[in-house]
Amino acid sequence: MAAPRSWTPAQCQLNQLLAECAEAYASDLRGTPHPAYPRDAIRQPHLLYQRGLGQDEAVAFLRAQRHGLVEIKRDSNFLIPNARACSKNLHLLSRNDDHFRVNTEALIHVGAYAELILDRGWKPSMLVFDPFFSGAALDLWGYAKPAETGSRLRDGRITFVAEAKARLHGRDSLSALSSAFERLQRDHSVVVEDGHRRKWQELVDIVSKNGTVKMLLAADGVRWWYEVRPNGTSVSLHRISEPFIGRLQ
């Protein structure tokens, strides 16, 4: 898509990067259509921004790329090099009808990860990006120490977790997740979305096993920090007004 005149240079640059991925990906799919996706044969390199393209997420993502913290392949598949662990099934673009949808949440997810490395002193070897272990629901785990030789990737004490959402308000938003967490800490039986409950239960399990952790909830233009403490069989959330300086542990 043509960049709106109101976009900043960072938004225009990221749009160009995504457009180049779309061109290459569409060409590959037209050349070898997947049987499960009949419209691959006519796949077009058009981009759908269902949630727009935020200035913050554009700046944060490009910063990650500039520092070599994300590697992007021609089909928009991306990897987080040197992370303790990272799912291999991550894409900036997804099929949508005969074109592509931009996975906006992935942009802020990568940007928030980069901030931990560049601004908070974390080592990539201490962070799990998009945990792919059975039952995992949160977006980032941070460990107190790098994985030891011969140990399992998930062994060790978790001291930090994070969840990224594309937007502060609206469908599947950060405010909706935060509201669900606030209600669940008061009453675990309250009715919330299944996805929110899964993330909450993982948070409770992590704190039960590891003790107090720091938590970041991130969206375009928003970073909310919490200290999450044990509270009987549940946890209590405590908002932190100022970002931490140095590694969170």
Please write the tens of the pLDDT for every residue from 172-223.
Answer: 899 999 999 999 999 999 999 999 999 999 999 999 999 999 999 999 999 9
Q: Would you list the domain boundaries of the chain? A: 9-240
Residues 134 and 72: their CA atoms lie apart, in Å, by 26
- The tens digit of pLDDT for each residue in 74-85 reads 999 999 999 999
Total length of the chain: 249
Of 145-154, 187-196, 222-231, minimum mean pLDDT range: 145-154
Q: Give the Cα separation of 101 and 106 in Å (integer).
A: 12
**CB count in 10 Å sphere of residue 225:** 18
Q: How far is CA 45 from CA 18, 28, 89, 98, 193, in A?
A: 10, 11, 21, 9, 34
d(CA 94, CA 82): 25
In our burial notation (b when 16+ CB lie closer than 10 A, e otherwise), range 69-99 reads bbebeebbbbebeebbbbeeebbbbebeeeb
